[in-house]
Amino acid sequence: MSETTPMVRMAGVDKHFGELHVLRDINLEVPQGQVVVVLGPSGSGKSTLCRTINRLEPIDSGVIEIDGKTLPAEGKELARLRADVGMVFQSFNLFAHKTILENVTLAPLKVRRTGKAEAEKNGIALLERVGIANQRDKYPAQLSGGQQQRAAIARALAMKPKVMLFDEPTSALDPEMVNEVLDVMTGLAKEGMTMLVVTHEMGFARRAANRVVFMADGEIVEDATPDTFFTAPKSDRAKDFLGKIL
């Protein structure tokens, strides 16, 4: 794809849950290497936005492309293209009955058909990168929340994704563990990973984001640099939101 093809492109995306119009004409392009922080009140559609990007949720209309390719609705092609999109959730979603290393090597072994030795070598390198290689033989429940979330990030990275989606990755953590996860994310951003991050961590948004997208009632209401968004929000919705959290 050409240099100008955005890594993520959403055009005219609409989605309903029954009567509820949860995404309204979403138009969003994320260029390669950009870090977009998505802000907005609870229920504004942030999680749904993330979930539509890798087709965990179907859309009613519009287009979603990853690196210029539309995700098919189902089938083998979907599994392969979906692997280009790494996702990290609020609740770490690790496999409880697999070790940390097994969690990280599972998808490469199954979906990418990587050999075992190579998958383990890559897996250990990723666990080193997120600072928990010494925990590799433990089970998720034996790790702290911060360590589990770092394992979840390593697991997503093991598929060599083109873009990483984070949906409130630190919201379930005890406060003293938030920074160890944000530090890993900041490192990824510096290395040039394309990222879409839903978070309430305003420090991270100011520090690491190239862009802030503010959602309310299923709409993108503002799309600005962090500096502009935090110092001169345009809409009443954003002013109201910032007034409550800052």
CB of 22 to ligand ADP, least distance (A): 4
Q: What type of residue sits at position 115?
A: G
Chain centroid to Cα 22, Å, comes to: 19
Contact of 57 with 48, CB cutoff 8 Å: yes
Instruction: Name which of Mg ion, ligand ADP, none residue 34 binds, using a CB cut-off of 5 to 8 Å depending on partner kind.
Output: none
Question: Distance between CA atoms of 59 and 67, rounded to whole angstroms?
Answer: 19
For residues 98-112, one letter each, b for 16 or more C-beta atoms within 10 angstroms of the residue's C-beta and e for the rest, the string is: ebbbbbbbbbbbeee
CB under 8 Å to 128, separation ≥6 — which residues? none
CB of 194 to ligand ADP, least distance (A): 20
Should residue 44 be labelled a site residue for ligand ADP when binding is judged by CB under 6 A?
A: yes
Crossing angle for the helix pair 175-190 and 145-157, to the nearest 10 degrees: 20
Question: Distance between CA atoms of 11 and 34, rounded to whole angstroms?
Answer: 18
The binder of ligand ADP chosen from 40, 108, 226, 233 (CB under 6 A): 40
Site string for ligand ADP, 46-85 (x = CB under 6 A): xxx-------------------------------------
Chain centroid to Cα 20, Å, comes to: 24
- The smaller minimum CB distance to ligand ADP, of residues 151 and 213, is found at 213
CB of 87 to Mg ion, least distance (A): 13
The binder of Mg ion chosen from 34, 47, 114, 122 (CB under 5 A): 47
Contact of 102 with 119, CB cutoff 8 Å: no
CB of 176 to Mg ion, least distance (A): 23
Should residue 22 be labelled a site residue for ligand ADP when binding is judged by CB under 6 A?
A: yes
Question: Distance between CA atoms of 208 and 204, rounded to whole angstroms?
Answer: 6
Instruction: Name which of ligand ADP, Mg ion, none residue 42 binds, using a CB cut-off of 5 to 8 Å depending on partner kind.
Output: ligand ADP
Should residue 43 be labelled a site residue for ligand ADP when binding is judged by CB under 6 A?
A: yes
Helix (H), strand (E) counts: the chain: 9, 10
The binder of ligand ADP chosen from 6, 45, 169, 233 (CB under 6 A): 45
- The smaller minimum CB distance to Mg ion, of residues 165 and 208, is found at 165
- Binding interface with Mg ion (CB under 5 A): 46-47
- Binding interface with ligand ADP (CB under 6 A): 17, 20, 22, 40, 42-48
